Amino acid sequence: MAKASTQYVCEGCGAASPRWLGRCPSCGGWNTLVEEVVKKGPRGAARASLFSEPGRGRPVPIESIAEDAAARMPTGIEELDRVLGGGVVLGSVALVGGDPGVGKSTLLLQALAGMARRGPTALYASGEESIAQVALRARRLGLAFGELPLGDRLQLVGVSDVAEVEQAAQLTKPTAIVVDSVQVIRSSDLESAPGSVSQLREVTARLVDLAKQSHAAVFLVGHVTKEGAIAGPKVLEHLVDVVLSFEGERGHAFRALRASKNRFGSATEVGVFEMSPAGLREVPNPSELFLAERPVHAAGSVIASVTPQTGGARAVLVEVQALVGVSGGAGRRTAQGVDGARLAMLLAVLERKAGLQLLGADVFANVAGGLAIDEPAVDLPLAIAIASAARNRPCARDLVAFGEVGLAGEVRGVPRGATRLAEAASMGFGRALVPASTAERLSATDRAGVEIVPVRDVEEAIAAAIG
């Protein structure tokens, strides 16, 4: 097959050059040139054929479009389906990112087997592991070779070129496809190495075309790089319909699946799993998991009701821990699961507004269980945990807290108060420290039988929590 011709395009100004150059001759940017296929021929023809579809190039009235235009299929994994917005949308592409070893391959193999078990054909295209390894895992997890035969509905193929994925899809006509991983698949149209920006873009664009044309749901595995962005630069995120990230701390069994982009649902759901010897298990009640090992009556431990990261529709109770030690030196500050800059800000506020002596002290903050919280509602429980640790006075055991803390020490309102209280009530907590402005807006039902302690500033909150 003849190679498609390629050119190098500046990501800054769009200028094209036939060769790679270190510096863009047009805008002067360094290292901005990226290889691209010069698009003509088949891809152009494919585009033209799309124009014969209704609604392509010819407007149709909005109310003429049926609701099921985006058909969904459940994967059989409820936590995944919920994060996707109620199952996977056929013809869409979802990118699943995460650190190596977090469990992306396991999750998607379980999802594919779940779909194949219900009838549709599924294709697992593996570029990283051999198909023997994938089959062995499926056998060990009881996803295949069990009592209920899958027949030929779950197909495996080893691939290194995107053309092989396309070919396998032509042969098997799958309803769902996993490509593991997008970083090791290349397009032979480009000279660049697999995993380079040009390759990632071209391979992903071809797989998006494949999804649209075959109406299969495509899942792409993408490893997160040191910088934390999926597939190195975030170049892929705008090409796909859904971006999921699979997260978990090393040494913890718990895993969180979040959507950071979802064209077919809210990007606010969080799915929780536990990695077990039998694969990933869904955790329908994460609060229970996070509170299981809570110490009895220890200073520096406060329960927070949070809606993790993007603010899921469901709240989770987590234990926020702090340890304050005298160092004599400059004072070390360590934050696990909370933002380091936020911790530094809270320490300054506690010094100035609540009279705590923290200058030069070592302060360690941690969210037990390994969940990363990046919403401001964790400020108040963290501030109380630090005060509790510094004064060596435990916080009341039946108390939860949530609220943002401002620079003046004021406790500011946060959204989803009722959701947070419902979770606290279901876990048996009787009292909640709530920002006064949030408390004002709560109806009797919103309070869910939890006694509300409205607080205006950190000093008041600390007094209410640790006396």
Residues that bind Mg ion (CB under 5 A): 105
Q: Which residues contact 197 (CB under 8 A, 6 or more apart)?
A: 34, 232, 233, 235
CA-closest candidate to residue 179, choices 101, 111, 126: 126
Find the shortest distance in angstroms from Cβ 126 to Mg ion: 9
Find the shortest distance in angstroms from Cβ 120 to ligand TYD: 22
The rounded distance, in Å, linking the Cα atoms of 127 and 183 is 9
Decide if 198 contacts 190 (C-beta within 8 A).
yes
The entry of Mg ion, ligand TYD, none near residue 106 (CB within 5 to 8 angstroms by kind) is ligand TYD
The entry of Mg ion, ligand TYD, none near residue 103 (CB within 5 to 8 angstroms by kind) is ligand TYD
Residues written for the chain: 467
Find the shortest distance in angstroms from Cβ 180 to Mg ion: 6
Q: Given the complex with ligand TYD, which of 109 and 464 has the nearer CB atom?
A: 109
Strand order in the sheet with 451-455: 333-336, 361-367, 316-326, 301-306, 399-401, 431-435, 451-455
| Residue number with the smallest Cβ distance to Mg ion | 105
| Phi/psi of residue 306, nearest 5 degrees | -120, 160
Q: Given the complex with ligand TYD, which of 241 and 247 has the nearer CB atom?
A: 247
The entry of Mg ion, ligand TYD, none near residue 34 (CB within 5 to 8 angstroms by kind) is none
The entry of ligand TYD, Mg ion, none near residue 57 (CB within 5 to 8 angstroms by kind) is none
Q: Given the complex with ligand TYD, which of 133 and 327 has the nearer CB atom?
A: 133
Find the shortest distance in angstroms from Cβ 104 to Mg ion: 5
Q: Given the complex with ligand TYD, which of 226 and 238 has the nearer CB atom?
A: 226
Find the shortest distance in angstroms from Cβ 348 to ligand TYD: 39
Q: Given the complex with ligand TYD, which of 98 and 337 has the nearer CB atom?
A: 98
Q: Given the complex with ligand TYD, which of 231 and 356 has the nearer CB atom?
A: 231
Find the shortest distance in angstroms from Cβ 303 to ligand TYD: 28
Find the shortest distance in angstroms from Cβ 287 to ligand TYD: 23
Residue 64 CB burial class (10 angstroms; 0-12, 13-18, ≥19): exposed
Q: Given the complex with ligand TYD, which of 183 and 305 has the nearer CB atom?
A: 183
The entry of Mg ion, ligand TYD, none near residue 100 (CB within 5 to 8 angstroms by kind) is ligand TYD
The entry of ligand TYD, Mg ion, none near residue 279 (CB within 5 to 8 angstroms by kind) is ligand TYD
Residue 161 CB burial class (10 angstroms; 0-12, 13-18, ≥19): middle
Decide if 461 contacts 396 (C-beta within 8 A).
no
Q: Hey, which bits of 127-192 come out as E strands?
A: 154-158, 176-180
The rounded distance, in Å, linking the Cα atoms of 190 and 170 is 23
The backbone region for 23, taken as left when phi is positive above 0, alpha when psi lies in -120 to 50, beta otherwise, is beta
The rounded distance, in Å, linking the Cα atoms of 232 and 234 is 6
Question: Which letter does DSSP use for residue 230 in this model?
Answer: B
The entry of Mg ion, ligand TYD, none near residue 449 (CB within 5 to 8 angstroms by kind) is none
Q: What is the contact surface with ligand TYD in residues (CB under 6 A)?
A: 98, 100-106, 137, 141, 275, 277-279
CA-closest candidate to residue 448, choices 465, 431, 466: 431
Q: Given the complex with ligand TYD, which of 91 and 271 has the nearer CB atom?
A: 271
Find the shortest distance in angstroms from Cβ 137 to ligand TYD: 5
